[in-house]
Amino acid sequence: METRDLPDVLAIENISFPNPWHETTFRGEIQNNDLSYPLVVIHRNLDKVIGYIVYWKIREEVQINNIAVHPDFKSMGIGEAILGDVIEEARAESVHYISLEVRPSNTAARGLYAKLGFELIGIRRNYYSNPDEDAIVLGMSLS
């Protein structure tokens, strides 16, 4: 992800989430080279961003912070491919554990995470707003 990608990223973010990240948040992730890995998926023919993921790698752990695919490109395996690539990269870099949070109401994402092997590790009470929801915390051991 680069600064020039932000208009497309923000459009996807705003259409995908009821409480979207602000542009400054994405800029901070782009600039945080020591910790943050913001990646985009670019449609070759359209030359535009159609999906993205932002994750942190801290020693032997990865935290998935944000992932989205433009609604026009959902159900095409793009989200699975993005997350699958991150999992494989994490394995190659000797990461031991990956975690993420998801809204209980986001059944599509929960199905994808279960398909890829993520398991329930806990609940964060009142984690989300607009609407208020707990977060389901999922994790996957890679070792």
| pLDDT (tens digit per residue) in 77-108 | 999 999 999 999 999 999 999 999 999 999 99
Across the range 16-23, mean pLDDT stands at: 94
> What class is the 3-141 domain?
alpha beta
Say what the pTM is. 0.94
Mean predicted lDDT score pLDDT of the chain: 96
DSSP 70: -
Active-site residue list: 101, 113
Q: Give the model's pLDDT for residue 143.
A: 83
Across the range 117-135, mean pLDDT stands at: 96
Distances from the Cα of 55 to the Cαs of 30, 45, 113, in angstroms?
Answer: 11, 27, 15
Q: Give the model's pLDDT for residue 138.
A: 98
Residue-range domain boundaries for the chain: 3-141
Nearest to 138 by CA among 106, 108, 102: 102
Model confidence at 33: pLDDT above 90: no
Across the range 107-130, mean pLDDT stands at: 96
CA 85 from centroid of its chain's CA atoms: 12
